[in-house]
Chains A and B, each alone.
Chain A
Amino acid sequence: MTLLRTYILPRILQWVFVIFVGVSITFLIPRLSPVNPVENMIGRLTSFQSMDPEASNRMRETLTDLYGLDGSMLDQYISFWGRLLRGDLGPSFQNFPRPVNDIIGDGIWWTVGLLGTATLVSWVLGILLGSLAGYFPNSLWAQFLEKTVITIYPIPYYIVAFVMLMLFTFYIPAFPLVGGARGTPALTWDYISSVLYFGFLPAMSIILGSTAFRFIMAKALTSTEASSDYVRYAELAAVPQRKILLYYVIRNTMLPQVTDLALSLGTIFGGALITEIVFGYPGVGYVLFNAINSADYNIIMGITLLSIVGIATASLLVDMIYPFLDPRVRLR
């Protein structure tokens, strides 16, 4: 009971508070923006029209009513929480009356699939290669890996992505230019293999940079651990290097790595805008970008809510599992 009362419960309350504050701020910010969803839609619906100003005013009233924007900010805020607690994020303004739940539902699995896989692969690769390079710093392959990583890491992601796009879709046209899969979703090998095929290039572009970052981090952590007394002692005791590396060194570097993984997984719900734009890949990043440009409040709220919940939950989980990962972490 003490653990629950003094450790778990405060953290859960903190989690609820962070989400409440985050969502409230996200409710407010787009409404303070000068971009107005009603005017935006009128502009879109009449961009090639010559519309009588009186008719345009009539349309303005209709849209304000349809979008539920005719009450005060407080009315809208209360109604928003009422809907949210029922699991309803409301309709998208730009794609009216399509529910935001549907729009996010269509995009989120691509985002989670791409970024989740890329994050996990780069995390494992980065830790393994970085730890190896940190433990065997003088070997040729370690030096080669390090020089390669140091070259790749500072290149801005959009350049890496664009170079890969040009290289593998134009000069060597081996990968597709747009989309997440061939055809429409189906539980067939053709469709599933096309998901892998279409996702390979965008995933590789992310994995390259992320692996480089984690390689550098893992190498630095391993180098520090490798010079510890317990490692020297183990080596003198003729414990096999494989065992020292895997069971002692890497394990002792895992605390910050787990935090990094949890927070990275928590942030994936915001999408990967540049990846989606460069590779024409589906996901919520581009949806969010369009929503911000068109002041589609409900979509902005929906995706931001996912991000806030994702990051807050990841932090909560990290807090919860720290004591299990590292016995040095004690309650209070």
Chain B
Amino acid sequence: MVRKLVLLLSLVLLAVPTFIGVAQEPQGLPVDLPREDLFVFDQIFRYGTVGNYNVWRTGGNTPHHHALMLETLWYRDQESGEFIYGLATSDPMYNDDFTQLNVDLREGVLWSDGVEFTADDVVFTVETIKATPELTQSGWNASLNQFLESVEKTGDYSVQFNLSQSNPRFHNLFETRWNGIYMMPKHIVEAVEGDLGAWEWTDPVVLGNYIPIDADPNGFWELFERRADPENSVAGIITGNAGPKYALSIFYGDSSRKAIAMSRGELDVYFDVDIESFETTLDTTPTARSWYTDFPWAYPNEVSTRQLAFNLEGDPLLANADVRWALALSLNMVEMQTEYIGGVAKITAIPVPPTASLSKIYHEPMEEWFVNLQIDLGDGEMYNPYDPTVSEQIAAWAEDQGFTVPGTPTEVFGYGWWKFDPEAAEKLLLKAGLTRDGSGNWLTPEGEPWVLDLQSPPDENDAFRVANAASDMWSDFGIDVSLSGLERNVWDQNRFVGQYEIATPWTTFALASGDFWPEVQSRHPKYYAPVGEDYRPLGGNSELRIQDPAVGDFIDAMAGLDPVSEENFEVNRDFLKYWTENMYFITTIAFKKFVTWDEKYWTGFPTAENPNYMPLYWFQGGKFAFQNLTPVS
């Protein structure tokens, strides 16, 4: 009997998977469409709300939707820094005191139901968002109420914004970095009754090239179909290409699952993975590539940078610029960038990524200043801390590894960085009153062991690697470093209330246009919050706990200037010099992303050889990368 029972159980265990396996084709795509019509892309998070395309409400999903479905007036390409006309056909036209903005609109753009887009849609969109506090997307309601007096139609294809106060950057609300105010179809939305914040838009009419047609109720995937007239969408007009017939987004989750999906031919592009999973992709998917075909592979020009940031009130010693400089000079950037980051990101000494366009505004013109910069090591000894050859040293390392560097060291790895000079660092610490004990470990002026608390979130791969590099190097220099890998929320909360000494946030001072003010305004000392107090309710960003009035003066000086004027850039460069002299934080590397695609089914994605548009397809301006695709066959 027992044998029979065991046999029966074994048969059941074998039969069930066989039965299921026979019933199902072993492939994991959730929709059954020919691959030559279907482009599959990595959905950057799992949606909590599915099938509601009211993107203006609180909680509306923006990534992918805004690239595929939505339009605004202007796009700023993060790769080239170029201004791309979306629904506008003119630059923002301000009056002399920046209280009035005129815009000419594109003719011949149709909504997906065939109705023409006109100035009426712009006026309706702006007035509706302004009048509806429940539409909180991207803070547009609050911003419009702060700056806009009225908006009026000056023609079927032109509008005028009358501002309530002078603002040379009002048009930023309609110019994408991540997104810009999404236009509403007046003929649809004006018929909606009741609360627009609670309105569920399940059958969207779009200005973009794609219409959502199916979605997983659990938020794992979403299917879009190209509209019947792609030539009447903005992306269709600009690129002259129709784009794939269907686009499917899938949330796969972690890096290893994305690499597996690509190896199975079930993912055409992913937005990022860790370097190990990327290497797996190269091994398992011969047709896959990233920005460069070979080393250093990754896309290096997303407009942001990584810092080792000091809490000036966290450890009294960190309030001393000499100590901050000593910490910078005891870091070996060549080793950090190669051994810890794998050589795949650009270095930068300033919080501006060295993209082709931003380098021309900041890194190149400031190089001479960096080379000539001097700091006082004590006893009147002046010292030049900048090493302009760091990118060349990284290139030499790469060649030693057998890699070919696809450009000049500056183009591929950025400009210079701070010298690795423990002797100079030692002089600075001695100047600050610290001493070494018999084992060479640093003691505070009070004679206590100097312990540095360094916090970093392990889920942010590069930030955590930078933290590990810094921890190792500062330990070698004789500092007792306590590195904590904290869960994201705890880490965030500690920064908000100043409960840290050194942390690894990311920031950029520059937008792709080169403008600083929008990114640095929140660091104005008027938003200072002491340690223990959450800085967010004050409205600014006081994570460094800086009270320096000079920082506020620079920010005030930028505020009224034309954002893309040389006058503004000059103030920005002076601000960078001041910030650097004070070493308010140590900027290390620029952002990089292993945005990787498989050319098995689709080709035409932007590359280093053909950088026509930015590959950041999850941004609203990322639409052009998809629009350019053509099937391999």
Contacts and interface: CB of A to CB of B under 8 A. Distances in A.
Interface string A30-70: 00001100010110011111111111111110110010000
Interface in B517-570: 518-519, 521-522, 527, 534, 536-540
Given A92-B59, A128-B9, A176 B142 contact: no
A293 interface: yes
A184 B26 contact: no
Q: Interface on chain A toward B: helix, strand, loop, or mixed SS?
A: helix
Contact of A106 (B29, B178, B218): B218
B454 to A, nearest CB: 21
Interface stretch (A96-104, A305-313, A315-323): A96-104
A195 to B, nearest CB: 10
Interface stretch (B45-53, B90-98, B342-350): B45-53
Interface in B392-415: none
Contacts of B540: 53
B197 interface: yes
A170 B527 CA distance: 52
A193 B142 contact: no
A185 B139 contact: no
Given A62-B142, A174-B26, A185 B136 contact: no
B58 A63 contact: yes
A203 B17 CA distance: 12
**Residue picked from A51, A54, A139, A193, most chain B C-beta under 10 Å:** A51
B24 A53 contact: no
Interface residues of B, number: 78
B253 A277 contact: yes
Interface in A179-236: 179-185, 193-194, 196-197, 200
A97 B198 contact: yes
Interface stretch (B113-121, B259-267, B575-583, B605-613): B259-267
Contact of B26 (A56, A60, A136, A173): A173
Contacts of B266: 177
Nearest to A56: B539
Interface residues of A, number: 73
A62 B141 contact: yes
Nearest to B197: A97
B214 A184 contact: yes
B133 A62 contact: yes
A258 interface: no
B21 interface: yes
B1 A293 contact: no
Contacts of A280: 220, 251-253, 257
A258 B498 CA distance: 52
Contact of B1 (A55, A174, A242): A242
B250 interface: yes
A153 interface: no
Contacts of B335: none
A282 interface: yes
B187 interface: no
A101 B372 CA distance: 64
A129 B5 CA distance: 9
A196 B217 CA distance: 18
Contacts of B218: 106-107, 110, 179-180, 282
Given A50-B521, A96-B58, A139-B2, 16 more contacts: A35-B489, A39-B536, A42-B536, A45-B136, A45-B139, A49-B139, A51-B139, A56-B139, A107-B218, A174-B26, A177-B260, A182-B31, A197-B20, A277-B253, A282-B216, A286-B46
User: Which A-B residue pairs are the 6 nearest by beta carbons?
Assistant: A53-B539, A48-B178, A176-B28, A50-B518, A282-B218, A55-B142
Interface of A: 34-35, 39, 41-42, 45-60, 62-63, 66, 92-98, 103, 106-107, 110, 125, 128-129, 132, 136, 139, 141, 165-166, 169-170, 173-185, 193-194, 196-197, 200, 241-242, 277, 280, 282, 286-287, 290, 293
Interface of B: 1-2, 5-6, 9, 16-17, 20-21, 23-24, 26-32, 46, 48-49, 52, 57-59, 133-134, 136-139, 141-143, 145-146, 172, 177-179, 197-198, 214-218, 220-221, 250-254, 257, 260-261, 263-264, 266, 488-489, 493, 496-497, 511, 518-519, 521-522, 527, 534, 536-540, 619
